Amino acid sequence: MNLVHRWLCSSGRWRRTVEQHVVPWVLDGLDLGPHVLEVGPGYGAATDVLRARLPHLACVEIDPSLARGLARRGGPGCVDVLCGDATALPLPSAAFDAALCFTMLHHVAPRERQDRLLQEVARVLRPGGVFLGVDSLASPWLRRLHWFDTLEPVDPSTFAERLRVAGFARAEVALNPYAFRFRAWKAAG
């Protein structure tokens, strides 16, 4: 990420936005179960909100310095942080009740790697498990923020089908003016 993007993602303003708007919108009305995975937590804004709500959270972060920072962070709840690539998750199959990702899919390029990430999440979810998340809508502002960054915007109009192809039995996508939320369930058995 470029310097401006790093500053934004580690800012108090972003943390408040995630706590007050992003996480509640993603989790609205759902029970995640006891074994939850967060994919690509980055600076951990969502992780900090989730750790207060969940008995246990596992996180997989590809950036070694961000993973170390998350692992050192204290606070309520049990959080295990692994440094790894979400397109080849270093986790057993059918180990999680839910998986989450917050505004990170657009950092995975090319689209084929995004699809591999979706397949890996489906693999580590138990039957009936749910994959939830949110990502930014493509816009000129998003492109400016990602100047000299990786940016592979996700098209919400095709994302439900991509989730089904990756191994989810049912998928839903909802939009607001800035982002889209997705929910996908692995077949129950």
Write the pLDDT tens digit of every residue in 49-81.
Answer: 998 888 889 999 999 999 999 988 866 568 899
Report H helices in 28-155: 45-51, 64-72, 111-124, 140-145
Q: How many domains does the chain have?
A: 1
pLDDT mean over 105-115: 96
Q: Tell me what the pLDDT averaged over the chain comes to.
A: 91
Q: Where residue 41 sits, what CATH number does that domain have?
A: 3.40.50.150
Over residues 34-63, the mean pLDDT reads: 93
Q: What is the pTM of this model?
A: 0.93
What pLDDT score does 83 carry? 96
Could you tell me the residue range of the domain that residue 35 belongs to?
3-186
**Tokens matching residue 27:** 């989790």
Average pLDDT over residues 19-47: 94
Q: What is the pLDDT of residue 13?
A: 87
pLDDT (tens digit per residue) in 135-188: 999 988 877 777 888 889 999 999 999 999 999 999 999 999 999 999 999 998
Residue with tokens 């998350």: 70
What is the structure's pLDDT at 1?
A: 66
